[in-house]
Amino acid sequence: MASWMTLSMRSCSMIRPKLWKNCKMADRMNVFEAQKWAFSFADDHGMERSTIDMLICGQMDWDVTHLLMHYRDEFSKEDFEVFRQNVEKCAEGIPPQYVLSKAVFFKRTFFVNESTLIPRVETEDLVEWILHDNPGADAEFLDIGTGSGAIGLTLKAEKPLWKGMLSDVSSEALEVAKKNAKRLKLKAEFKLSDVFDAIDGKFDIIVSNPPYIAESEKKYMDKSVLEHEPTLALFAENNGLAIYQKICRQLKDHLKNDGSLYLEIGFLQGKAVVEMFEKAYPKAEVTLKKDESGHDRMVRVRF
């Protein structure tokens, strides 16, 4: 099944008037009928059918099992109008996570808006790696470029005794992370900082999923990403390596002697990032890890 993160939306230039009018005027409609209409609309306008189920489940706070159980439930006029508008927004190219103002990451629901990236399923592998490597109850960690807080707050939720600091260069993104911490009832420290510029002290674990896309790669990117996800969180100078370079330069001042750095990388950046840290820290253990698709996706640096 296509994930919430990998759906590609194409803009629609026209809507079949009769279908649209009938759907708005229906006095009674159950969930199955609403879904059937939306599937037809999606097929006509280049949308993934999985987006329709996502919109229903997200709006009603259901999972797929609940959707199947409630097929024959009546959709109120109010609920259907919201659903209709959401379908229309997705047809215009807005990612469904922004339409719903939420995204699922590590089985938890995070508030998102266009100040933050939509959490990707690949990033869950990075969290899994950290948790596997660090089974202990006590640790201090720093999440650089936290965005919605998906990585840092997930670590805090999975390891309640860990002490976490979540930082971002965007004050708007940091407010989203704070909102998610409150929603999830998690405590963490938040810091407005460009990488390490406003960070004091050293940490057992540092993690970052920074901007790593080169400007030259824009032409290969999905239109919905370029138009709606924050540029500040997507692109970096020096062929996408600028933030890794800044982390590398200042890492020794902020990572404890037995600590570990975990990075998400672009699938073509593995060699460059590994060589960067091996050159800067010859005695460190630098490990490159692939994702489930076999692409280079993560790097760990252990002192």
Q: What is the predicted pLDDT for the residue at 26?
A: 52
What is the mean pLDDT of the segment spanning 178-205? 98
Alpha-carbon span 292 to 67, nearest angstrom? 28
pLDDT-based confidence at residue 222 (cuts at 50, 70, 90): confident
Per-residue model confidence (pLDDT) at position 236: 87
When pLDDT is cut at 50, 70 and 90, the band that residue 215 belongs to is confident
pLDDT at 1 over 70: no
Which amino acid type is present at position 75? F
Residue 154: other Cβ atoms inside 10 A: 26
Claim: this prediction has a pTM higher than 0.85: yes
Average pLDDT over residues 90-102: 95
Task: Give the pLDDT score at 217.
Answer: 81
> How far apart are the C-alpha atoms of 157 and 187, rounded to whole Å?
9
Q: Would you state the pLDDT for residue 130? A: 98
- With beta carbons less than 8 A apart as the criterion, state whether 303 and 254 touch: no
Confidence of residue 223 (pLDDT cuts 50, 70, 90): confident
Task: Report residue 47 as tokens.
Answer: 């949308």
Q: 169 vs 232, which has greater pLDDT?
A: 169
> Does residue 178 contact residue 202 with C-beta atoms inside 8 Å?
no
- What is the distance of C-alpha 38 from the center of its chain? 26
144-172 residue pLDDT tens: 999 999 999 999 999 999 999 999 999 99
CA distance 117 to 36: 31
